[in-house]
Amino acid sequence: MGELAVHVAHLRRIFKVPEREAGLRESVRSLFHRRYREVRAVDGISFDIEPGEVVGFLGPNGAGKTTTLKMLSGLLHPTDGEVRVLGETPARRRREYLRRMSLVMGNRNQLQWDIPAADSFELNRAIYQVPWPEFRRTRDELVELLDLGDLVTKPVRNLSLGERMKVELAAALLHRPAVLFLDEPTLGLDITMQKRIRTFIAEYNVRHSASVLLTSHYMADVEALCQRVIIIDRGRILFDGDLATLATSLAAYKELDVTLAGSGADLSGYGEVRSRDGDRVTLRVPKAQTPLVTARLLADHTVLDLTVEDPPIEDVIELLFAAARPPA
């Protein structure tokens, strides 16, 4: 191999949005002379993804995640910068490239609504020109892995949201793409189904050593699947690296989970009380002071249980965003 799965350098995408003030006079004026505002959806990002790597792409709504995914899959032309996926320039939409990648968007369906998925699979076979034996093998494997059973013979409209997502995934993987772009694949699904989808993506990645770039709102998705995360906000990368080190290197706090014998003690003198559940208290303590505070707690109270943890990843990311945005 040797080639990178994804190579992105100084990528930029600017949208021109027509600007219109309210009121009749302004709308008439906009007919003749339209004013545009530039929106920098992606503002000079760079990263590489190795073959077989699973990368989580995180950020709030409007951060530029989907725009980036669209540029990677060749749906949008970059305004500036370089994108290479599997050594190809996606925007040229060469068939050889399209045949090796797949895009799944959790909020949009690609299967035809009123025919059974099995038929859509066959259409995809023809479109991607998958040879019959390979098609059958892949299809049966996917049916088994995703536990599809007879779901594929029912019209898609009769499936539940979760079942539909499973079938969508199967359809997207029939041609065994080497690169998989997943935009919110678990959106709106219940916990069990989220887990099922996650396990499957991990399994697919291991079996076929495909590269996966995944965006999600659910931290659990990212924690379960990705060692590496890229955090993006307002078109810029805030963090790119190991998920595990994100918490330790960025968070200035630790969380202390303390269970005391006998309730009622006021612990607010030790740190910021985040929650209290009977005798159990969660404290947030500056990282440097953690050893000191722990020692004081153990000395002053009868402690039944005490754990020191990094704060939840959501909180860390929130801190990251807070730091990147100047206070309003």
Partner 1 sequence: MRTLRLIALHLRVVAMYEMQYRVNFFLQLFQSLLATGTGLVVLALVYGQVDELNGWSRPELLVVLGVFTVLGGLVQAVIKPNVVQFMEEVADGTLDYVLAKPVDAQLLVSIRAVRFWQAVDILVGAIVMSVGAAQLRPGPGLLAVLGFLAALGFAAVIVYCFLLLLATTAFWFVRVDTFVESFDGIYQAGRWPVGIYPSWLRIGLTAVVPVGFAVTVPAQALTGQLSWPTLAGAAALAGTLAIVTRVCWRLGLRHYSGASS
How far apart are CB 320 and partner 1 at their closest, in Å?
Answer: 29
Select 136 or 296, whichever has its Cβ closest to partner 1. Answer: 136
Comparing CB distances to partner 1, the nearer of 101 and 258 is 101
90-125 b/e (C-beta count within 10 Å ≥ 16 → b): bbeeeeebbbbbbbbbbeebebeeeebbbebbeebb
Phi and psi at residue 129, to the nearest 5°? 50, 50
Residue with tokens 């014998």: 261
Considering Cα of 180, then 14, then 19, then 326, what sign does the dihedral take?
positive
Q: Does 98 bind partner 1 (CB under 8 A)?
A: yes
Q: Which is nearer to partner 1, 172 or 258 (CB)?
A: 172
Task: List phi, psi (to 5°) of 25.
Answer: -60, -40
Torsion of CA 171, 173, 174, 179, to 10 degrees: 140
Choose the stretch contacting partner 1; rule: CB under 8 A; options: 1-9, 56-64, 102-110, 222-230: 102-110
What's the CA gap between 316 and 243, in Å, rounded? Answer: 11
Based on the shown chain and the rule CB under 8 A, indicate whether residue 102 belongs to the binding site for partner 1.
Answer: yes
Decide: is 164 part of the binding site for partner 1 (CB under 8 A): no
115 in contact with partner 1 (CB under 8 A) = yes
Secondary structure element (H or E) that encloses residue 150, with its range: none
Quick one: how many helices (H) and strands (E) in the chain? 11, 13
Tokens of 123: 């259409």
| 214 lies in the binding site for partner 1 (CB under 8 A) | no
Binding characters for partner 1, 41-80, by CB under 8 A (x = yes): -----------------------------x--xxxxx-x-
Could you say whether residue 129 binds partner 1 (CB under 8 A)?
Answer: yes
User: Would you count residue 324 as binding partner 1 (CB under 8 A)?
Assistant: no
Contact status: 89 vs partner 1 (CB under 8 A): no
Site size with partner 1, rule: CB under 8 A: 34
Tell me whether residue 33 is exposed, middle or buried, using C-beta atoms within 10 angstroms of its C-beta: 0 to 12, 13 to 18, 19 or more. Answer: exposed
**Beta strand ranges found along 26-155 (DSSP E):** 35-49, 54-58, 80-85, 101-105
Among 123, 261, 292, 304, binds partner 1 (CB under 8 A): 123
Say whether residue 218 binds partner 1 (CB under 8 A). Answer: no
187 contacts partner 1 (rule: CB under 8 A): no
**Among 91, 202, 224, 319, which residue interacts with partner 1 (rule: CB under 8 A)?**
91
**What is the contact surface with partner 1 in residues (CB under 8 A)?**
13, 15-16, 70, 73-77, 79, 91, 93, 95-96, 98-99, 101-103, 105, 108-110, 112, 114-115, 119, 122-123, 126-129, 155
